[in-house]
Structure 1
Amino acid sequence: MLVLSRKINEAIQIGADIEVKVIAVEGDQVKIGIDAPKHIDIHRKEIYLTIQEENNRAAALSSDVISALSSQKK
């Protein structure tokens, strides 16, 4: 993991398209701004993990449904 120190209004550039900028620091909370192309999804990590879990459940359910439908044709 790369760890960088930044002050308010300083930024980190990721590739040519993504900029992460420190907007404010209030107590133990840091507000950041992310400038990225619209085709790049940006989520808080806990939301991203929830989306992944839901996708995995949906994929498993789809497999179960396909198996059930396949067995009915016999």
Structure 2
Amino acid sequence: MLVLTRKQNESIMIGNDIEITVLAIEGEQVKVGINAPKNVDIHRKEVYLSIQQENNEATKTETNMLEKINEYFKKES
């Protein structure tokens, strides 16, 4: 993990097209602004993990459905 120190209104760059700027520091909270291309998804980590979990559950459901359909057709043969 890379650790950087930034003051308010200072930025870091990720690659050529993602800029993260420290907008405000209020007590224990830091507000950051992110400039990135529209095709880059940006989420808070807890939201990202929730999306990943939902995607994994949806994949399992689809697999179960395919197995049930396969079993159905085997019985019909």
Assess same fold via TM > 0.5. Answer: yes
The answer for the alignment partner of 1:10 in structure 2 is 10
Partner AA of 1:8 in structure 2: Q
Unmatched runs of 5 consecutive residues or more in structure 1: none
Say yes or no: does 1:68 pair with 2:59: no
Question: What does 1:21-60 correspond to in 2, within 5 Å?
Answer: 21-60=21-60
Report the AA paired with residue 7 of structure 2: K
Q: Distance in 1 between matches of 2:69 and 2:12?
A: 51
After TM superposition, what 4+ stretches of structure 1 lie above 6 angstroms from structure 2?
none
TM-score when scaled to structure 2? 0.95
Consecutive unaligned residues of structure 2, counting only runs of 5 or more, are none
- Root-mean-square deviation over aligned CA pairs: 0.4
- In structure 2, distance between residues paired with 1:7 and 1:73: 64
Equivalent pairs counted in the alignment come to 74
Give, in whole Å, the separation in 1 of the partners of 2:71 and 2:28: 56
Q: What TM-score, normalized by structure 1, do the two folds share?
A: 0.99
